[in-house]
Amino acid sequence: MMDAAREWLIEANDVMRIYGDGEEIRALSGVDLRIKHGELIAIMGPSGSGKSTLLNILGTLDKPTRGSVFIGGQDVSKIKNKAAFRANTVGFIFQLHNLLPTLTALENLEVPMAGRLAASESRARAEDLLELVGLSDRRDHLPNQLSGGQRQRVAVARALANKPPLVLADEPTGNLDSAAGQDLMELIRELNLSQGVTFIIVTHDLAVARETSRILVMEDGKFVREDVVGSPFEEDLKVWAHTELGQRILSSAEGKLEGFDVTDGQLKEIRSLLTQADELA
């Protein structure tokens, strides 16, 4: 597995997760996944498609009914102390910041390092992290004294406290307005590049997904599509290509499209662009 460990941070093979003792609920149906070190990935899909279940399995909070998961070359099923493995390997960001309300921003960052570093070292690391996310001047503020965006920045810093190679984020912008969400994604992109940390972000927001480098789309417990993120124009075309109108244009004959006042030449150009976008997707 050494070669795989070097190439892939995450390697999942035929992962299945079934819940229920009576009627089975199949949350994951044979998922295969490869993610390289330092990637920035978005996972999208409708509610109930298996996104959060997959994230829990990758974070060793749940285990698959069938299949294998390797993280950093280690077979997760053979790891006895998963809590210690998580502390060293995986950081988590949730839709709710989950900061301790009676602790300051600085103190919240020290919590994951308790018992792992000397008090002076954890304090220095926490101060460095606050500077990294642009909140040094808020170090002594309680969570209720911070804005929603600032609280999520502290949550991002907390996820990095023990220098994990992997951060899993479940709807990290879900409780933020569009401006704060954009700011948070810009921060995550910067950290992905500067720290070399792999981020996997589950989101329903296409604007968030477009800030990543690769979008994986789930339906019914499996991946159905993968998009490499291109320019904003390319991304708009990809979305259009998968709409009802886009599919009508792609599947229509060379003649006019019923209900639309466009020339044959214009329709041909539109169809060509959508065909290219569909192939990219």
pLDDT band of residue 25 (cuts 50, 70, 90) is confident
Tell me: the pLDDT tens digits for 181-197?
999 999 999 999 999 99
Q: Are residues 244 and 124 in the same domain?
A: no
The full 3-state SS of the chain, as one line of letters, equals CHHHHHHEEEEEEEEEEEECCCCCEEEEEEEEEEEECCCEEEEECCCCCCHHHHHHHHCCCCCCCEEEEEECCEEHHHCCCHHHHHHHHEEEECCCCCCCCCCCHHHHHHHHHECCECHHHHHHHHHHHHHHCCCHHHCCCCHHHCCHHHHHHHHHHHHCCCCCCEEEEECCCCCCCHHHHHHHHHHHHHHHHHHCCEEEEECCCHHHHCCCCEEEEEECCEEEEEEECCCHHHHHHHHHHCCHHHHHHHHCCCCCCCCCCCCHHHHHHHHHHHHHHHHHC
Q: Are residues 79 and 179 in the same domain?
A: yes
Whether the per-residue pLDDT at 149 is higher than 70: the answer is yes
* pTM of structure: 0.81
Spatial contact of 90 and 153, defined as CB atoms under 8 Å apart: no
Q: Are residues 95 and 197 in the same domain?
A: yes
> Distance (Å, rounded) from C-alpha 228 to C-alpha 154?
29
User: Last residue of some domain: 187, 212, 229?
Assistant: 229
**Stretch 215-239: mean pLDDT, rounded?**
78
Query: To the nearest whole percent, how much of the chain has pLDDT over 90?
Result: 70
Tell me: the pLDDT tens digits for 113-133?
998 889 999 999 999 999 999
Q: Are residues 205 and 251 in the same domain?
A: no
Q: Which domain holds residue 239?
A: 235-280
Spatial contact of 208 and 175, defined as CB atoms under 8 Å apart: no
Tell me: the pLDDT tens digits for 26-47?
999 999 999 999 999 999 999 9
Whether the per-residue pLDDT at 78 is higher than 70: the answer is yes
Whether the per-residue pLDDT at 246 is higher than 80: the answer is no
- Tell me what pLDDT residue 97 has: 87
Q: Are residues 224 and 247 in the same domain?
A: no
Q: Are residues 212 and 256 in the same domain?
A: no
More confident residue, 22 or 259: 22
pLDDT band of residue 95 (cuts 50, 70, 90) is confident
- Tell me what pLDDT residue 241 has: 65
Whether the per-residue pLDDT at 208 is higher than 60: the answer is yes
Mean model confidence pLDDT for the chain: 87
More confident residue, 273 or 152: 152
Q: Are residues 15 and 65 in the same domain?
A: yes
Q: Are residues 178 and 244 in the same domain?
A: no
Q: How many structural domains is the chain composed of?
A: 2
**Stretch 9-16: mean pLDDT, rounded?**
96
